[in-house]
């Protein structure tokens, strides 16, 4: 049975989440004299009805693996498809559908645990994940560690849908900057077409732009119905800001800092029909996801990096969402 958890700190930040999917339900931050909701979300009892990974922790491998197959050192592993022929976000019964266990909880921090069996969704080896959500000042810190019993690709991310307006609105009125000079062009199913390419025209987000000003003005954006692309961060291994999102009224900014090499920018292109808190179903483009991660389809494509975790080593993902009112 799902457990509901509320965290809060002296800075006035409050986070609500549940153990099912380790999914976030609400995140409010102080803006002026009021609290502003910065996440989309649904009622806990409606979570099972949605198919858009609403604020969930996704894995064992976030993003897409082409044809739902893994090849590694002469072995072939067939995964459970979850988007056409491809494996998206770990399969049909990925980590977003699992019941996580609470290891420890403080007023401003909670640590959750998930065990994934050998062969889970076709992935080799057991996988044990420790996930911490912590409020630090006006930051939400997400820290993930994982180990495996056999070589396995591991790639987790928070699939949070952000809207900094504090109300239901079109997120294309937000401004976005992504500190990346390369991205992955994709086919119609979101599988990378090639090695990373230089950002160009509407796909160049190195300077802050309103999303609507770039809207569907590039063949890649037309094909995906918006942004759904992995950017290779120029900030990898540094403390620089990887991405910056600003509300339509410019009263709230969110900065993203991460130790991950990529960030998937997804503008909620297929959000329509998902349940909301207010009983009116969500529409497309009401939230934007900034999913820090390893690169899609990399388990079978060494040119995109090596996501294979080996026994005796630790996967460590850390992402910080920093909120700045002003």
Distances (CA, A) of 245 to 65, 121, 157, 304: 28, 34, 18, 26
Q: Is 206 marked as a binding-site residue?
A: no
Strand partners for 232: 182, 262
Distance CA 15, CA 6 (A): 6
* Closest among 184, 221, 179 to 66, alpha carbons compared: 184
Q: Is 161 marked as a binding-site residue?
A: yes
291 assigned to active site = yes
Q: Is 285 marked as a binding-site residue?
A: no
Q: Is 64 marked as a binding-site residue?
A: yes
Distance CA 307, CA 304 (A): 9
Q: Is 63 marked as a binding-site residue?
A: yes
Catalytic residue among 37, 255, 286, 291: 291
* Closest among 266, 256, 248 to 53, alpha carbons compared: 266
Residue pair 297/66 in contact by the 8 Å Cβ criterion? yes
Catalytic residue among 37, 89, 159, 174: 159
255 assigned to active site = no
Distance CA 79, CA 93 (A): 11
Q: Is 182 marked as a binding-site residue?
A: no
Annotation: binding site: 63-64, 159-161, 228
Report, as residue numbers or ranges, the catalytic residues: 159, 291
Annotation: binding site for beta-D-galactose: 63-64, 159-161, 228
């Amino acid at each position: 049975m799902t457990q509901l958890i509320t965290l809060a700190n002296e800075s006035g930040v409050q986070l609500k989440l549940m153990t099912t999917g380790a999914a976030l339900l609400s995140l409010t931050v102080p803006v002026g004299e009021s609290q502003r909701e910065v996440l989309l979300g649904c009622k806990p009892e409606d979570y099972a009805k949605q198919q858009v990974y609403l604020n969930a922790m996704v894995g064992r491998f976030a993003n897409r693996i082409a044809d739902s197959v893994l090849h590694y050192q002469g072995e072939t592993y067939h995964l459970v498809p979850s988007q056409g022929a491809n494996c998206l976000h770990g399969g049909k019964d990925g980590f977003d559908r699992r019941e996580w266990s609470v290891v420890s909880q403080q007023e401003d921090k909670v640590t959750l645990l998930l065990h994934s069996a050998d062969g889970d969704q076709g992935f080799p080896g057991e996988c044990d994940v420790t996930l911490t959500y912590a409020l630090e000042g006006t930051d939400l810190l997400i820290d993930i560690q994982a180990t495996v019993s056999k070589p396995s690709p591991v790639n987790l991310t928070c699939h949070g849908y952000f809207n900094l307006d504090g109300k239901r609105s079109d997120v294309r009125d937000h401004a976005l900057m992504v500190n990346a000079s390369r991205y992955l062009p994709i086919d119609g199913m979101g599988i990378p077409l090639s090695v990373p390419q230089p950002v160009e025209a509407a796909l160049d987000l190195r300077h802050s732009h309103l999303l609507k000003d770039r809207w569907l003005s590039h063949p890649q954006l037309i094909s995906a119905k918006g942004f759904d692309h992995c950017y290779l961060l120029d900030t990898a291994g540094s403390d620089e800001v990887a991405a910056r999102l600003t509300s339509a009224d410019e009263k709230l900014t969110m900065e993203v800092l991460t130790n991950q090499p990529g960030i998937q920018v997804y503008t909620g292109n297929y959000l329509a029909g998902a349940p909301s808190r207010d009983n009116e179903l969500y529409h497309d483009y009401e939230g934007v996801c900034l999913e820090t991660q390893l690169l899609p389809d990399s388990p079978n494509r060494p040119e995109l990096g090596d996501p294979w975790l080996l026994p005796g080593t630790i996967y460590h993902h850390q992402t910080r969402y920093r909120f700045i009112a002003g």
